Structure 1
Amino acid sequence: MVKAKVFLISFTVLLLIFSGMGAYHMYAMERSVARAIYADVLDDMQDIGYLEPDLAAYYVQKMEELGWDVSGDVFDGSRPRTPGERARKERQEEVTLVLRIHPSRLSQWMHRFVQGEVLFSFAGSRPSEYFDPEW
C-alpha cells in the first residue's frame, strides 16, 4: 500500500513538472515567433518608409493562421501608415512600429504569470532607409 502511494505521488509530481516545462516551452516558442514577426515588419517598414497595407494584411493573415486573435488593429500606434506620410532618410525621419498580439490561451496564462499582462507587446523606432528617387 505504501509503495502504491509513493508511486502515485511521484508520478503526479513528475507529470506536473513535465507539463509545466512543456507549457513554458510552448510559451517561449510562441513569443519568439511573435518577436520574429515584429522584427520582420520593422525591417520592411524601415526599407519602404511606412507600414504598407498589403504587408500588414500578410502578417495579420500569418498571425491568424497561428490561431492568434487579430480581430482588432494589431498595428495600432504604428506610423507612418500611408505612402503620403512616408519617412525619408534624407530628412532623417523614423518609422515606429507598435505590435500587440493576443496569443493562444496557454501563452496568455504563462505571459500573465511571467510579465503580468496578457498581450505580447512590442514597440520600437528606427531611422528610415527610404530615399526618395526624386530627391
Structure 2
Amino acid sequence: MLKTKVFFICLSVMLILFSAIAAYEMYAMERAIARSIYADAFDDMQDIGYLEPLLADYYLQKMGDLGWDVSLDVFSGSVPRTEGLRARKERDEMVTLTLTVRPSRLSQWMHLFVKGETSFHFTGSRPSEYFDPGW
C-alpha cells in the first residue's frame, strides 16, 4: 500500500512538473512570436516613415490568425500613422511603434506571474529611413 502511494505522488509531481515546463515553453513561444511581429512591423515602418494602414491591417490579420485579441487598437501610441506626417531621414525625424498584444489565456496567466500584467507590450523609437524623392 505504501508503494502505491509513493508511486502516485511521484507520478503527480512528474505531471505537474512537465505541465509547468510545457506552459512556460508555450508562453515563451508566444512572446517570441509577438516580439518578431513587433520587429517586422517596426522595420517596415522605419523604411516607409509611417505606419501604413495596409501594413497595420496585415499584422492585425496575422495576430488574429494566432487567436489573439485584436479588437482594440494594438498600435495605439505609434506615430506617425498617416502619409502626410511621414517621418523623413533628411530631417532626422523618428518613428515610434507601440504594440500591445493580448495573447492566449495560458500566456496571459504566465505573463501575469512573470511580469505582473496580462498583455505583451513592446515600444520603441528609431530614426526614419525614408528619403523624400524630391529632396
TM-score range, shorter chain: over 0.9
Quote the residue 2:115 is aligned against.
115
Instruction: Give the structure 2 partner of residue 57 of structure 1.
Output: 57
For residues 18 and 67 of structure 2, the distance between their equivalents in structure 1, rounded to whole angstroms, comes to 24
Corresponding residue of 1:36? 36
SS of aligned partner of 1:81: coil
Provide, for residues 49-94 of structure 1, a one-character-per-residue CA deviation record: whole Å limited to 9, x for no partner.
0000000000000000000000000000000000000000000000
Mark the runs of 5 or more structure 2 residues left unpaired by the alignment: none
Residue 127 of structure 1 pairs with residue 134 of structure 2: no
Give, in whole Å, the separation in 1 of the partners of 2:25 and 2:78.
Answer: 30
Task: Tell me how large the CA RMSD over aligned residues is.
Answer: 0.3
Is residue 2:43 matched to residue 1:47? no
Q: TM-score, normalization: structure 1?
A: 1.00
How far is 1:100 from its partner? 0.2
Cross-structure match for 2:5? 5
Q: In the TM superposition, what is the alpha-carbon distance from 1:8 to its structure 2 partner?
A: 0.2
Residue 3 (structure 1) shift: 0.6
The secondary structure found in structure 1 opposite 2:3 is helix
Moved over 6 A (4+): none
**How many equivalent pairs are there?**
135
Question: Unpaired runs of 5+ in structure 1?
Answer: none
TM-score, with length taken from structure 2: 1.00
